[in-house]
Amino acid sequence: MNDLDLFDEAPAEERPRRGRAAASADKQRRRKVLLLGGIAAVIVLGIGVWYGVTSLFGLTSYEDFEGAGESDVVVKVEPGTISQTGQSLVEAGVVGSVRAYTAAAQENDSAGSVQPGYYVLKTKMSGANAVAGLVRKNARVGEMEIRGGNQLDDVTVASGKVNQGIISMIAKASCAELNGKNTCLTVEQVRSAMEKADLAEIGAPEWVITEASKVTEPRRRFEGLLMPGKYDVKPGDTPENVLRALLTTGSARLQAAGLPKSAEKTGFSPYQLLIMASLVEKESATPDFGKIAQVTRNRLAIGMRLQYDSTVNYPLDRPNIRTNSADRDKAGAYNTYAVQGLPPTPIGSPGAGAISAAVTPEPSDYLYFVRCDKNGKSCFAKDLDDHNANVREAQAKGAY
């Protein structure tokens, strides 16, 4: 072997093996480079996203006013997250930034209990003061609750006590103190707005407008359009705007209860079903809703007068379940002893159960019923003789 042999190439049989090993090593190196590059890209992207989010929401630094604030302002808290509430407060000029509110809310365990609705706060409050203002006792304003059977006007019960009607509820809910001024609407202002309102312009459901517009007493066009439940009235707003907001909520609830769509195969208009539902709500306890609805349909089908005391008492602003002969002799569109068919409007606010019963009553041949138990239960009959027997039994129990 000479010196040149020391630098000679490897044997031919070894060269392919070395080539494969080198290629494999190159692939591994490329994978490592790609992996490291990907990790670096993710880190950079993450830093960029974090920077964007923190800049957008003020998480690294944020503006916060100092002190308890300046001028009174009504703020509406919408359903949503604490951040969304913070955004509403920013838009109302209450807090300096969303983060000013959310940071303070994180320090107050009661912040999560803030309910949607209207609140009186002040402009330029610190986040901590804004949270404290929302969670303080009786902080919420403008809330009212309608119950099944409530009607627009006040009613006087047998004891002489006056129960607030919906118009009075609206007037009361409109009250708040803003910068030393009372925002209360009067009952007369609310009633006047109802009488003058254009139903279409003020937001009444389209399926109500044609039939309700025929009513001779304008304010009664609003009867039955606000289903039972809680409503929010904005203190300081005009009576027209208050009614518009209430009708928006009421219309959505009527739609959720099935009107107008569920009327399609009943043979009645949606408004007629709403009227029937109001009768059901007034005339019976919940377990009997379906039966009362069927009695109503049965009488209408044969041209028999409804003869419901609730309709007679409606314009008299009394919730009694009985009437006397003098009441029944009074002329009027709501006197179903004298006038055949349904009254011209609902006679109160029907709930979802009453509406469902009006749409799908409980099948029967009953034509008569009477409240025969003090718990509100009714007894039903197909003919007058059986009905009179039920009446005597009800009177003996002191139920009628």
Pick the residue with more confidence: 233 or 27?
A: 233
Percent above pLDDT 90 for the chain: 72
Q: What is the pLDDT of residue 7?
A: 40
Task: Work out the mean pLDDT of the chain and round it to a whole number.
Answer: 88
pTM of the complete model: 0.81
Nearest to 103 by CA among 44, 162, 57, 143: 57
Q: At residue 8, does pLDDT exceed 70? A: no
Q: What is the pLDDT of residue 328?
A: 81
Q: Region 356-379: what's the mean pLDDT?
A: 94
Evaluate whether 177 touches 119 at the Cβ level (below 8 Å): no
Beta bridge partners of 144: 231
Question: Band of the pLDDT at 23, cuts 50, 70, 90?
Answer: low
Burial of 321 (0-12, 13-18, 19+ CB in 10 A): middle
**pLDDT digit string, tens, across residues 67-79:** 999 999 999 999 9
Q: What is the pLDDT of residue 94?
A: 97
Tokens of 70: 């300046």
Nearest to 350 by CA among 296, 300, 304: 296
**pLDDT digit string, tens, across residues 190-239:** 999 999 999 999 999 999 999 999 998 998 999 999 999 999 999 999 99
Phi, psi angles (nearest 5°) of residue 106: -65, -20
**pLDDT digit string, tens, across residues 33-49:** 566 656 655 565 655 55
Q: Region 252-267: what's the mean pLDDT?
A: 96
Q: What is the pLDDT of residue 40?
A: 55
Evaluate whether 204 touches 325 at the Cβ level (below 8 Å): no
**pLDDT digit string, tens, across residues 370-399:** 999 888 899 999 999 999 999 999 888 887
Nearest to 224 by CA among 46, 83, 314, 349: 349
**pLDDT digit string, tens, across residues 293-321:** 999 999 999 999 999 999 998 988 776 66
Q: At residue 344, does pLDDT exceed 60? A: yes
Report the relative pairing of strands 117-122 and 140-141 from DSSP bridges. antiparallel
Percent above pLDDT 70 for the chain: 84
**pLDDT digit string, tens, across residues 124-147:** 999 999 999 999 988 899 999 999
Question: Band of the pLDDT at 56, cuts 50, 70, 90?
Answer: low
Nearest to 356 by CA among 249, 261, 248, 223: 261
Q: Region 240-253: what's the mean pLDDT?
A: 97
Query: CA 297 to CA 266: how far, in whole Å?
Result: 11
Question: Band of the pLDDT at 2, cuts 50, 70, 90?
Answer: very low
Query: CA 87 to CA 263: how far, in whole Å?
Result: 41
Q: What is the pLDDT of residue 319?
A: 67
Q: Region 262-269: what's the mean pLDDT?
A: 96
Q: At residue 15, does pLDDT exceed 50? A: no
Pick the residue with more confidence: 150 or 325?
A: 150
Q: What is the pLDDT of residue 37?
A: 59
**pLDDT digit string, tens, across residues 280-296:** 999 988 999 999 999 99
Q: At residue 98, does pLDDT exceed 80? A: yes
Q: What is the pLDDT of residue 324?
A: 74
Evaluate whether 319 touches 158 at the Cβ level (below 8 Å): no
